[in-house]
Amino acid sequence: MQLYPTTTPMQEDMQTIRDGLSASNVAKVPELLQLPHDDVIVVLRDDSGAIIGGGIGEFDWGYLFVDTLWVADNRRGKGHGTRIMQALESYAASRGIQRAYLYTTTFQAKPLYEKLGYQVYGELRDYPRGHTLYFLWKDNLVTTNTDLEVQSPPDPDDSQLLNDGLIADVDLHVPLQFATYAIFLRDAAGLLHGGLWGYFYWNWFDLRFVWMSDSVRGQGFGKQAVQMLFAECQRRDVVGIKSDTASFQSLSFYQAQGFEVFGTLDNRPPGYTSYFIQRRFGT
């Protein structure tokens, strides 16, 4: 067995890690299979049909995660952001989802979210450097009437347009400089037995997935992979790593590697707690 770092991971290898983690989660909490798994976008169009705003969400362990909110610069200040958020929340409520969470920075829409009833449950300073990344949540989502276009499943082209709009706005403040990074555990035949992957951006690493197959657990490969990630982060002068783990997963493992909890969400998934964790490398 050997660990291989790469900056150009193949999609099928990343999917193997993701699928392995998902299967492990379901083995521990079978109720995960009963939770809604929708992806949804809300689209705001002008009179010509062109997209001038919208939002992207996904159902995540009994929560609505609001991944993207964007309104074209010349259409702001007219309540469109509120309408988009309410439409996303309404769709989630119609599917039995009662809670939502999201991230936002000091130069984005924190006041809007707080006006809509979101509360801060954690924050990371210097994410990006000189700014703060806020983690907010909201309970008791309700259904409301909307005249906005709601797509589930989303049209990929419409989703891409919304993401491109948000990224263009963000780049005006601090360019994302987005890069994928992975470490894979392979045997002599090249068969994948585990690993981790995530994204570098804003001088942080977003650790998305960590998984080791049952056949290699307890042999220290997870710790070795995380230590290799630490070395790469320090080589790149990264401020820190963020991730999350649930109470049925591996909080003690991460804490043993120096991660600290900076926020929690109750009932994510229902009956369990999600811990949002960080590992910083500098002051």
What confidence category does residue 106 fall into, taking pLDDT thresholds of 50, 70 and 90?
A: very high
Q: Within 10 Å of residue 62's Cβ, how many Cβ atoms?
A: 21
The secondary structure of the chain in percent helix, strand, coil, rounded to multiples of 5, reads 30, 35, 35
Per-residue pLDDT averaged across 159-180, rounded? 93
Asked whether the predicted pLDDT for residue 177 surpasses 90, the reply is no
Asked whether the predicted pLDDT for residue 282 surpasses 80, the reply is no
Asked whether the predicted pLDDT for residue 283 surpasses 80, the reply is no
Per-residue pLDDT averaged across 206-224, rounded? 96
pLDDT of residue 260: 98
What confidence category does residue 152 fall into, taking pLDDT thresholds of 50, 70 and 90?
A: very high
Per-residue pLDDT averaged across 22-31, rounded? 97
Single out the residue of 278, 127, 106, 136 nearest to residue 201, CA to CA: 127
Using CB atoms within 10 Å of the CB of residue 226, give its burial: 0 to 12 exposed, 13 to 18 middle, 19+ buried: buried
Using CB atoms within 10 Å of the CB of residue 27, give its burial: 0 to 12 exposed, 13 to 18 middle, 19+ buried: exposed
Per-residue pLDDT averaged across 161-175, rounded? 94
Encoded amino acid at 78, one letter: K
Residue 78 φ then ψ, to 5°: -120, 15
Sequence length of the chain is 283
CA 15 → CA 5, 19, 57, 115, 258, distances in Å?
Answer: 16, 6, 20, 38, 27
d(CA 66, CA 240): 23
CATH 3.40.630.30 fits 35-171, yes or no: yes
Single out the residue of 225, 75, 84, 204 nearest to residue 133, CA to CA: 204
The boundaries of every CATH 3.40.630.30 domain in the chain are 2-31+177-280, 35-171
pLDDT of residue 149: 97
Architecture of domain 2-31+177-280 in this structure: 3-Layer(aba) Sandwich (3.40)
Work out the mean pLDDT of the chain and round it to a whole number. Answer: 96
3-state secondary structure of 180: strand
Asked whether the predicted pLDDT for residue 25 surpasses 80, the reply is yes
Asked whether the predicted pLDDT for residue 220 surpasses 90, the reply is yes
Asked whether the predicted pLDDT for residue 192 surpasses 90, the reply is yes
pLDDT of residue 176: 85
What confidence category does residue 206 fall into, taking pLDDT thresholds of 50, 70 and 90?
A: very high
**Strands, E, within the chain: which ranges?**
2-6, 39-45, 51-60, 63-71, 99-105, 119-125, 132-138, 149-151, 179-186, 192-201, 204-212, 240-246, 260-266, 273-280
